[in-house]
Structure 1
Amino acid sequence: MNLQILRPVTIKARVTENLKARLTAELNAAIQQLDDEMAELESQVKRAQLTAAITPQQQLQLRQLMEQERAARAEKKAQLQAEISRVQALPLGAEIVQGTVQATATVKVGDSLDALMAAEIVVEDGKVIEIRGEL
């Protein structure tokens, strides 16, 4: 008797200069978006503070909220910058996990479940270069 199951397949990318450049560009874009969001938030707070209907208590709350948002975004920015450093330090030819996908597999009595669950696809610059395990 055979049974069809869904199982995870790990996608790994071989580190190349192109991959490092792409990952760095994505991280820099995320940092730029954080900076843009912060500038927009500061602009909105300044406009709100200029409104005559806002009380001193509300101004204080706005400033506190702004500081919390600034701190949260600064922490996220520091994490992204640390990730850029880690990407730049990756050795060429190393393999990094890019994610997982689901694939179907046929299982029958006597099959090695460990072998079925250990499937990997290795890509280099967007092209599949190796398939490991039982697909």
Structure 2
Amino acid sequence: MQTVLISRAVTVKSKVTPLLRARLGAEAQKAIRDVEQEMERFLSEIEKRRALGKSDEIAGLERKLRDLQARKDVLTAKLKDIAKLSEGQEVTQGQVQGFYEVKVGDVWSEIGTAEIVLEDGRVVAIREGNSVTVEVIGRETAAGEPER
């Protein structure tokens, strides 16, 4: 049978748990702190330029400062959105590239869609095509017994 190996995007999603919410919140808070530090540096630089009478350079710095404020506003809104996430809700975390072996007779529209669902870093579902879900019920321990 003829086949060809293709590369395709696979969407990675995570189920919202208290651990995920805490991690996303911490990442957003760190990003906000980083932006605030950058804003402080720009404010300091603007004051130095004013003291030196270099008004031609101030406009560019003020524009960058406004851009940073806009970024901070977006991050603050994101932090509020994180707090509103519902337990069990799936959020997109990104994409990875995966390989798929296409065979004669495959339905093209089903080949292009694939998702991996994580819960606290563990794969709990793999969906291909028309969102067919393969649930991972439990995993085996080193002794070969199901984990409870």
Q: Which TM-score applies when normalising by structure 1?
A: 0.85
Residue in structure 1 matched with residue 123 of structure 2 by the alignment: 128
Q: Distance in 2 between matches of 1:46 and 1:121?
A: 50
SS class of match (2:97): strand
**CA offsets per residue over residues 11-52 of structure 1, 9 Å max, x none?**
11001111111111111111111111111122233334444x
State the superposition RMSD in angstroms: 1.7
* Pair 1:62-2:57 in alignment: yes
Task: Give unmatched runs, 5+ long, in structure 2.
Answer: 130-148
Q: Distance in 1 between matches of 2:100 and 2:65?
A: 48
Q: Distance in 2 between matches of 1:9 and 1:41?
A: 40
Q: Which has the higher contact order (CA 8 A, sep 6+)?
A: 1
Residue in structure 1 matched with residue 8 of structure 2 by the alignment: 7
Q: Which TM-score applies when normalising by structure 2?
A: 0.78
- Is this contact kept in 1: 2:42–2:65, CA < 8 A? no
* Pair 1:42-2:59 in alignment: no
Q: Distance in 2 between matches of 1:67 and 1:41?
A: 8
Q: Distance in 2 between matches of 1:66 and 1:104?
A: 46
Percent identity at matched positions?
34
62-71 or 114-123: bigger deviation: 62-71
Deviation, 1:9, is 1.0
